[in-house]
């Protein structure tokens, strides 16, 4: 148990550090691009990305989840050859689906550019998207394999390589095309992404071949586990199509419905760009610290389910929720306290800071929902997770369609709240039902809130006021995090000591009797 926990932490740390460095660099670069091209162009590119993500969903079709579940189970039961047969099958299927998705996007390119992208760009970005889809699909399967066999460092190597290629190509292409308009900006960003995906696939495929040779499993040539793959991937794929389709539809209709509220086309795209392209990426950035661990939870919980070790499921869930809640409340507090300073420091835009403060309370529910979904997927509840997402998207899409023309940007904010709260509530209910998990309000909610409140009063009393805005912001945020962490660990230690003393007293009492 200790060995597995240590391996889990090592793999999670590797993925987290890698993802943190890349996401941080990417965030800085995206902020620079946002400031260069403006919120209107950013809104248009966000629409292109919404279409891109839908066709990525079609090309993967749940096969990455099938790899994670089957390989984890088979390797846990010492049936490595069966696991290798399964991943070979998934890679082949993903290649075919990637080609199919590419053909599909080309066939509907005119419709997409006219109806979805408001004729703001041509079909050229869609052509480059089609080229990259097979490579993205196959890479997702191999990445899931390395996650399942606890070799996260190989995914980390590939991600770093992909990131470097992407940044280099983006800089080169944007330098050539940034003054040529929105369409050429979109083409530059998409083409850079596709080139980096092809290079990334080449490297991760080589690492996969080396890995199975090292395990002496390279003699496995046949395909297998087709029925199990279909059983896992088909419901995931079906619900993924619906979920991703609704998500894409929701993103595409937002500017249109905002325009109906009285905003101009330019203004509606600008507002959409600010919230979707500026505010949400910053709010979601800290999730890089928990995303890597949440991915690793899928094979861990798959293994526990295969071994019917439900005691470990409850024990680990409680520990994970305790620290995720503490982390979420800390980040939520930072965005609420330093909202205006963050808006000015990052984008030199006070309006962005206003939206930071409004959306900050959702951070807790967003981050917790991320962890719960990963646990449910590991317990082979992928279908339930997808159904939850479909219900959420259906309700919020209807709300956006009917109420955005009436309430405008306020309606958009309300739709985000409805979406996140509904998704979290249903996911938590499913988790409690599956694991019979008891909500620990003291450790999960009460202690983090106390830590946040005390830390707020401390930084208010000892607030630094440097001339430079960024320096001032960084120092005060670090002070808040330091105070929060110290108080949290202090309270946690005292509660654990008290709990141990009570247990010892109880044992002594019964032994005397």
pLDDT in tens, 438-491: 777 777 888 899 999 999 999 888 777 777 888 888 889 999 999 999 998 888
Q: What is the mean pLDDT of the chain?
A: 81
* Average of per-residue pLDDT across 113-117: 78
Could you tell me if residue 90 is inside a domain?
yes
Reference 170, options 189, 185, 144; nearest CA is: 189
**What residues contact residue 468 under an 8 Å CB cut-off, 6+ apart?**
none
Residue 99 has pLDDT above 90, yes or no: yes
Q: What angle separates helix 2-60 from helix 80-107, to the nearest 10 degrees?
A: 30
pLDDT in tens, 249-276: 888 888 888 888 888 777 887 888 888 8
| Whole-number pLDDT of residue 79 | 77
Could you tell me if residue 27 is inside a domain?
no
* Average of per-residue pLDDT across 278-295: 78
Q: Tokens 């607030």: give the residue.
A: 463
Residue 503 has pLDDT above 60, yes or no: no
Query: Taking a C-beta distance cutoff of 8 angstroms, is the pair 452, 484 a contact?
Result: yes
> Which range is most confident: 43-57, 234-248, 380-394?
43-57
| Whole-number pLDDT of residue 231 | 81
Higher pLDDT, 20 or 284: 284
pLDDT in tens, 152-165: 778 878 888 988 89
| Whole-number pLDDT of residue 197 | 93
Residue 496 has pLDDT above 50, yes or no: yes
Alpha-carbon gap, residue 70 to 88, rounded angstroms: 12
What 3-state DSSP class applies to 309?
coil
Confidence class for position 56, pLDDT limits 50, 70, 90: very high
Query: Taking a C-beta distance cutoff of 8 angstroms, is the pair 20, 12 a contact?
Result: no
For the chain, what percent of residues have pLDDT higher than 70? Answer: 87
Residue 117 has pLDDT above 80, yes or no: no
pTM over 0.95: no
User: Exposed, middle or buried: residue 106 (CB in 10 Å: 0-12, 13-18, 19+)?
Assistant: middle
Could you tell me if residue 213 is inside a domain?
yes
| Whole-number pLDDT of residue 513 | 39
* Average of per-residue pLDDT across 29-50: 75
Q: Which domain holds residue 96?
A: 58-245
**Phi/psi of residue 439, nearest 5 degrees:** -75, 125
Alpha-carbon gap, residue 295 to 375, rounded angstroms: 9
Could you tell me if residue 227 is inside a domain?
yes
| Whole-number pLDDT of residue 133 | 94
Looking at the structure of the chain, the number of domains it has is 1
Residue 236 has pLDDT above 70, yes or no: yes
* Average of per-residue pLDDT across 49-74: 86
Could you tell me if residue 95 is inside a domain?
yes
Could you tell me if residue 48 is inside a domain?
no
User: Exposed, middle or buried: residue 414 (CB in 10 Å: 0-12, 13-18, 19+)?
Assistant: middle
Query: Taking a C-beta distance cutoff of 8 angstroms, is the pair 290, 363 a contact?
Result: no
Could you tell me if residue 53 is inside a domain?
no
Could you tell me if residue 73 is inside a domain?
yes
* Average of per-residue pLDDT across 382-405: 84
Query: Taking a C-beta distance cutoff of 8 angstroms, is the pair 459, 480 a contact?
Result: yes
| Whole-number pLDDT of residue 451 | 92
């Amino acid at each position: 148990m200790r060995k597995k926990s240590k391996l889990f932490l090592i793999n999670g740390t590797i993925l987290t550090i890698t993802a943190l460095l890349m996401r941080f660099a990417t965030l800085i670069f995206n902020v620079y691009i946002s400031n260069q091209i403006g919120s209107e162009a950013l809104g248009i590119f966000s629409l292109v990305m919404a279409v891109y993500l839908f066709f990525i969903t079609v090309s993967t079709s749940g096969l990455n989840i099938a790899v994670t579940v089957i390989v984890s189970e088979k390797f846990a039961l010492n049936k490595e050859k069966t696991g290798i047969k399964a991943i070979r099958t998934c890679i082949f299927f993903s290649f075919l689906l990637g080609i199919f998705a590419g053909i599909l996007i080309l066939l509907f390119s005119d419709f997409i550019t006219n109806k979805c992208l408001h004729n703001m760009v041509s079909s050229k970005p869609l052509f480059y998207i089609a080229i990259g889809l097979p490579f993205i699909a196959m890479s997702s399967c191999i990445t899931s394999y390395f996650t399942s066999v606890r070799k996260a460092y190989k995914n980390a190597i590939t991600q770093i390589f992909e990131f470097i290629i992407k940044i280099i190509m983006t800089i080169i292409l944007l330098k050539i095309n940034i003054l040529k308009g929105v369409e050429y900006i979109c083409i530059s960003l998409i083409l850079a992404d596709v080139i980096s995906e092809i290079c990334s696939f080449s490297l991760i495929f080589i690492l996969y071949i080396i890995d199975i040779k090292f395990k002496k499993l390279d003699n496995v040539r046949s395909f297998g586990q087709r029925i199990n793959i279909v059983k896992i991937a088909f419901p995931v794929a079906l619900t993924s199509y619906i979920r991703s389709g609704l998500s894409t539809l929701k993103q595409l209709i937002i500017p249109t419905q905002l325009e109906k509220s009285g905003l101009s086309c330019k203004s509606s795209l600008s507002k959409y760009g600010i919230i979707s392209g500026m505010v949400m990426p910053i709010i979601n950035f800290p999730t890089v610290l928990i995303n890597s661990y949440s991915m690793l939870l899928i094979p861990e919980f798959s293994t526990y389910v295969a071994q019917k070790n439900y005691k470990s499921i409850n024990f680990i869930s409680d520990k994970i929720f305790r620290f995720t809640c503490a982390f979420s409340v800390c980040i939520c507090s930072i965005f609420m306290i330093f909202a205006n300073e963050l808006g000015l420091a990052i984008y030199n835009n006070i309006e962005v800071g206003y939206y930071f403060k409004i959306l900050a309370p959702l951070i807790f529910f967003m981050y917790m929902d991320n962890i719960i979904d990963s646990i449910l997927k590991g317990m082979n509840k992928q279908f339930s997770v997808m159904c939850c997402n479909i219900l959420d998207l259906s309700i919020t899409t209807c709300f956006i369609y009917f109420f955005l023309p009436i309430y405008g940007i306020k309606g958009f904010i309300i739709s985000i709240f409805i979406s996140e709260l509904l998704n979290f509530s249903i996911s938590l209910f499913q988790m409690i039902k599956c694991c019979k998990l008891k909500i620990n309000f003291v450790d999960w909610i009460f202690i983090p809130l106390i830590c946040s409140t005390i830390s707020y009063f401390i930084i208010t009393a000892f607030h630094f006021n440097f001339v430079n805005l960024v320096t001032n912001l960084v120092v005060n945020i670090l002070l808040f995090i330091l105070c929060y962490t110290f108080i949290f660990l202090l309270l946690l230690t005292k509660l654990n000591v008290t709990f141990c003393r009570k247990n010892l007293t109880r044992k002594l009492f019964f032994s005397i009797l």
